[in-house]
Amino acid sequence: MQIKDIASKIVEMEKVPTYFNNTKTFSSVTYLKQNSDKQRGLYLPDCDSLEALKYCKSSIPDGFERIRQMICTKCDFGEISFSVFSILHELGHWIEYKEFIEEGHTDKEFISCYELQRAVMFMQRDNECQKCKSKEDIIALNKKYDNLYAELPTEKYANDFALSHLIEGVMKIK
């Protein structure tokens, strides 16, 4: 099933700017980044749900396995539940950001509260990667940082949001 068709059933697209692009990844843009022409909103792959699943499995195997395990706590794992979870995860990021702004905060405060942790973690990972001497070292490093990434407050919020709405979302598709 096309990601566009899945998203149209679980995202209120008239309220959440949603863009489809030629990547096979799911992402969201909350605050506007310097030197980027991307607008705020959800960025979803313009492809089939099976293509998106296969891409994630091959490009980020640790993240894929973590996502698979989370989904299996709620329902059967497959291309539909994976895509619904991924869309809901990005929607969770969007909702967390919008609530933060509605409380009277600014983009700068959002970056300070949440995104600096992510940036520091990526810099630490890059520094540690320089010390890797083997493929096994890189695999271990990737697993370590995938777990650390999943513990970031914004990632926990998005995962919790996705998991709490997963069954409802899957039912809307089936």
pLDDT in tens, the chain (174 residues): 999 999 999 999 999 999 999 999 999 999 888 888 889 999 999 999 999 999 999 999 999 999 999 999 999 999 999 999 999 999 999 999 999 999 999 999 999 999 899 999 999 999 999 999 999 999 999 999 999 999 999 999 999 999 999 999 999 998
Amino acid, single-letter form, for residue 148:
L
**pLDDT value, residue 36:** 83
**pLDDT value, residue 35:** 83
Return the CA Rg of the chain.
Answer: 16
Cα 173 to chain centroid distance, Å, stands at 20
C-alpha span between 6 and 50 (Å, rounded): 12
**pLDDT value, residue 92:** 98
Number of domains in the chain: 1
**pLDDT value, residue 71:** 98
**Whether the Cβ atoms of residue 2 and residue 51 lie closer than 8 Å to each other:** no
6: closest CA among 65, 63, 91? 91
Helix (H) or strand (E) holding 154: helix 153-173
The parent domain of residue 30 ranges over: 3-173
